[in-house]
């Protein structure tokens, strides 16, 4: 029995980034995010032979459907840096640096009111000097310690000495990969009948489908487009397995 039913789905979709195409090696599975859409679109082209005979001129004498690429469009409104890296054609890495001291970094001649960017981030214990001697702290102000930005209140020729704080976190380097390939594995649930659907996508390219806003009054979203590729072993580009009867 295969009774008909409406479909309203929830979906846990995981992706793995391809590390080596020659050996079909993929990285660890990561949740794609809180998906507001995940749409599979098989495509095909209809090829017709049009009759030029008197009896049925202009009618289709033969017709065939030629399959084309299957695509997936996905949108997520909650995600982590791993998904962001897909959308920004980038990579992520664990960042761990120790605190260090910078001494006598030259700022050159600075006009009053200018904001100067120091070479380090996470700045503290800032001391500006002129002609080898520390200047009064009223002549400058650290306006963005995290970014290492200092505002000069009194024109002069300065050097800077400061501490750069230790950094621990994750760094995303964007625009470094012109092509990325992934495989996808997901478990969907039809909320009408609680049946599960397993979705397997063996290999696909992935590209951003739009921009990512870092500011706004609405939640930012990530959009991704996938083009499914036929595996070298001839297995299907994708499978959907509905559990139960």
Residues 108-167: tens digit of each pLDDT: 999 999 999 999 999 999 999 999 999 999 999 999 999 999 999 999 999 999 999 998
CA dist., res. 224 & res. 222, Å (int): 7
Find the mean pLDDT for residues 59-64.
91
Find the mean pLDDT for residues 209-236.
89
Q: Which residue has the tokens 């001129």?
A: 57
pLDDT of 245 reads: 60
Residues recorded for the chain: 245
Contact 139/113 with Cβ under 8 angstroms? no
Residue with more model confidence, 227 or 44: 227
What whole-number percentage of the chain has pLDDT above 70?
99
> 3-class DSSP state for residue 131?
coil
Of the candidates 165, 150, 70, the one whose C-alpha atom is nearest the C-alpha of residue 115 is 150
pLDDT of 1 reads: 64
Does residue 18 register a pLDDT over 70? yes
Ranges of beta strands (E only) in the chain are 9-20, 25-26, 30-31, 34-41, 44-50, 60-67, 71-78, 91-97, 100-110, 115-117, 123-130, 133-134, 140-144, 149-152, 156-164, 167-173, 180-190, 196-208, 222-228, 238-242
pLDDT-derived band at 232 (thresholds 50, 70, 90) equals confident
pLDDT-derived band at 9 (thresholds 50, 70, 90) equals very high
pLDDT-derived band at 178 (thresholds 50, 70, 90) equals confident
């Amino acid at each position: 029995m295969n009774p008909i039913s409406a479909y309203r789905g929830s979906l846990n979709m995981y992706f793995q980034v391809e590390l080596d195409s020659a050996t079909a090696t993929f990285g660890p599975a990561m949740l794609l995010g809180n998906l507001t859409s995940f749409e599979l679109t098989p495509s095909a082209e209809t090829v017709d032979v049009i009759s030029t005979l008197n009896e049925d001129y202009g009618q289709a004498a033969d017709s065939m459907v030629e399959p084309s690429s299957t695509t997936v469009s996905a949108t997520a409104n909650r995600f982590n840096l791993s998904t962001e890296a897909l959308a920004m054609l980038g990579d992520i890495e664990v960042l761990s640096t120790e605190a260090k001291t910078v001494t006598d970094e030259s700022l050159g001649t600075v006009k009053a009111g200018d904001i100067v960017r120091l070479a380090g981030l996470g700045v503290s214990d800032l001391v500006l000097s002129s002609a080898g001697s520390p200047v009064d702290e009223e002549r400058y102000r650290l306006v963005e310690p995290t970014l290492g930005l200092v505002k000069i209140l009194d024109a002069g020729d300065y050097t800077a000495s400061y501490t750069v704080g230790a950094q621990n976190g994750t760094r995303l380097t964007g625009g470094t990969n012109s092509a990325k390939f992934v495989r996808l594995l997901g478990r969907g649930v039809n909320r009408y009948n609680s049946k599960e659907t397993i979705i397997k996508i063996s290999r696909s390219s992935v590209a951003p489908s739009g921009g990512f806003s870092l500011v706004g009054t609405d939640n930012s979203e990530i959009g991704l487009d996938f083009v499914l590729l036929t595996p070298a072993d001839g297995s299907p580009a994708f499978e959907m397995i509905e559990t139960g009867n």
